[in-house]
Amino acid sequence: MESLLKKWDGEEVIIRFDNLTKAWIIIAIHNTRLGIGTGGTRMKPYQNLQEALQDAMKLAEGMSYKYAVSNFPRGGAKAVIALPDKFDSTERPDLLRRYGKLVCQLGGLFETGPDVGTSPDDMDIISETGDPYIFCRTPQKGGAGDSGPATALGVFSGMQAVCEQLFNSPSLEAKRVLVQGAGSVGNPLIQLLRDAGAEVLFSDIDEAAIAHLQAKKGLKHIHPDKIFDTPCDIFAPCALGGILNKNTIPRLKCLAVAGGANNQLSEPADAERLWGRQILYAPDFAINIGGAMAIIGIETMGWSRAEADKNVTSVRQTLKHIFAIATAEGINTDVAARRIARSRLFEDQ
């Protein structure tokens, strides 16, 4: 653990053990050069503290790159609440309240919103003790609600840049898009794609979600085992990270990867593997900023919902810029995007 922490290039990590539930709370602040450390709260079981810590640090780094590549005035950070194996869900609200108290004690060092495993309802509970550092409370509690639809809108705009690059036209009409994960981002993304005339395939592990989309919307479901072998124009990962790796990339039958999940690559070499196969990769941290951008804009910068939606579509320009640099310099898109971000995060200006 010590060596993990020491080789990280972030600023600081706060670790708290909640003995009542045996949960670990980790808040990783990666880089605050551009603004207040801001990132979601991920809540799920982990094998052990080390795995949770690693996830928090990597996710916090991703947030730094996310804001920097889009020139958005926030710093990279993330929280992980690592639940124990046997977690009694009746303890959840009080655990969230204790977590909120910690965020409040940090006095503005860290601001948070939802992520995998947490929702606007949870943000309401966290804000009871964590106010005023909590984004995405429900509208009834004065917040801007779920960030998923805005993330989906940003991903959709990014897909338009992908189509421009591949087909010389931003239109998604008749393009075959495979969405992995029909959750808070995947679901609204599916809707946007259908409205644009795309042919949508989806994959999920939740039986109820599958049945709903199949029956109500007539969508074709792809079994999770087949997801990497299914031919499509765009593959859109919108579930957990780490799915693009040396085993899955050789199997892909898509022209591009563009989706909302954080940390889609297992390791940096995976970007080169995709590039080598001439699969156009939209760097996850560039394409998935929509939710954070919209919510932070609405809740702290006075944006209306319409302004937020408009600003989120800047993802298309950000990606065009990344693709242009990658093509001109013969470097993969992930390297190109990181170079832009790094110049804002680390270099003297």
- Enumerate binding residues for ligand PHE (CB under 6 A): 38-40, 113-115, 135-136, 147, 262, 291-292, 295-296
Least distance from C-beta 133 to ligand PHE, angstroms? 11
φ/ψ region of 90 (left if φ > 0, alpha if ψ in -120 to 50, else beta) reads alpha
Alpha-carbon distance values, 322 to 143, 158, 259, 334 (Å) = 33, 11, 16, 8
Which listed residue (58, 66, 78, 175) is catalytic?
A: 78
**Nearest residue (CB) to ligand PHE, 237 versus 291:** 291
Alpha-carbon distance values, 100 to 20, 44, 127, 144 (Å) = 16, 17, 6, 18
**Nearest residue (CB) to ligand PHE, 23 versus 123:** 123
**Nearest residue (CB) to ligand PHE, 53 versus 293:** 293
Least distance from C-beta 41 to ligand PHE, angstroms? 8
Q: Are 95 and 121 in contact (CB under 8 A)?
A: no
Q: Which two tokens stand for residue 346?
A: 């680390």
**Nearest residue (CB) to ligand PHE, 76 versus 230:** 76
Q: Are 153 and 175 in contact (CB under 8 A)?
A: no
**Nearest residue (CB) to ligand PHE, 232 versus 315:** 315
- Catalytic residue flag (residue 78): yes
Q: Which two tokens stand for residue 147?
A: 């960030």
Which secondary-structure segment (H or E) carries 241? Answer: none
Burial classification of residue 46, based on how many CB atoms lie within 10 Å of its CB (0-12 exposed, 13-18 middle, 19 or more buried): buried
Annotated active-site positions, please?
78
